[in-house]
Amino acid sequence: MSRAASGRPAVARLPLGEEVIRPTFRRERNALKRGVWPVAGCDEAGRGPLAGPVVAAAVILDPKRVPRGLDDSKKLDAQTREKLHAKICASAQVSVACAPPWRIDRDNILRASLWALARAVAALPVRPQLVFVDGRDRIDAGCDCEAVISGDAIIASIAAASIVAKVTRDRLMTRLGLLHPGYGFEHHKGYSVPEHFEALARLGPTIHHRRSFAPVAAIYGDPVPSEVAVPADASPVLAL
């Protein structure tokens, strides 16, 4: 370790302009001070893949038990996400909902994602007074709602929701990998990777593929039907 002229260890400093940004509980705590509580954060996982649902999560953190290490789920490895998922579910109020492929094909990916986010908030054990949602679009939360761009990187409750949504969706895709061997869902989680394209070309799409997404639509060779049949067991809420 290098030492300064005083003999004390030198302090490592980031280059100018490189600021480490991590989620904090500041906005939730400020709302609590104003008498606004509960406050929920919500986020989704799975907008981009060719297969599987969009999974949304809503989380109300306990102000006295905010897990350490919360961050945007995309910045965390799978093992860290799993550990934080367990801590979040043990200390916070959590709900999860999903928009399956048929809804994505019928409504488009943005509308389906916002619908799932709203359903996740509605499924919380208590009704929040304020909801922070990641992104540009507010949702019909039944209360005040604030959309925050890159919210999963700066707001603790959104970061927690991003972790819950990502872990839940990854687990679902792993199960689909067991139900549909050969597609590699357990590895790529439905995203556009060479392994997935090869499986699509060799095996064709499954019922879990999104027909409105170009690579899948090209295999079907026909436009997405304007009317998509809704399954009888189409509840959006998932058990944790």
Instruction: Report residues of the chain scoring pLDDT below 70.
Output: 1-20, 221-240
User: What is the C-alpha to C-alpha distance for residues 113 and 135, in angstroms, rounded to an integer?
Assistant: 11
65-84 residue pLDDT tens? 999 999 999 999 999 999 99
Look at residue 223 in the predicted model and tell me its pLDDT: 53
- Phi first, then psi: give them for residue 219, nearest 5 degrees: -75, -40
d(CA 183, CA 202): 9
What's the CA gap between 45 and 188, in Å, rounded? 14
State the Cα–Cα distance between residues 98 and 237, nearest whole angstrom.
Answer: 6
Say what the pLDDT of residue 219 is.
85
Query: Can you tell me the distance from the alpha carbon of 91 to that of 80, in angstroms, rounded to the nearest whole number?
Result: 17
The DSSP output letter for 38 is -
Fill in the DSSP letter of residue 193: -
Token pair listed for 109: 């990916």
In this predicted structure, what is the pLDDT of residue 19? 58
Helix (H) or strand (E) holding 45: strand 39-45
Strand pairing of 93-99 and 54-60?
antiparallel
Task: Name the CATH code of domain 26-176 (choices 3.40.50.2000, 3.30.1490.190, 3.30.420.10, 3.30.1330.80).
Answer: 3.30.420.10
- Supply the pLDDT for residue 239: 45
Digit-coded pLDDT (tens) for 154-197: 999 999 999 999 999 999 999 999 999 999 999 999 999 999 99
Q: Transcribe 96-148 into DSSP letters.
A: EEEE-HHHHHHH-HHHHHHHHHHHHHHTSSS--SEEEEESS-----SSEEEEE
How many CA atoms does the CB half-sphere of 10 hold within 13 Å? 8
Cβ distance 23 to 167 under 8 Å?
A: no
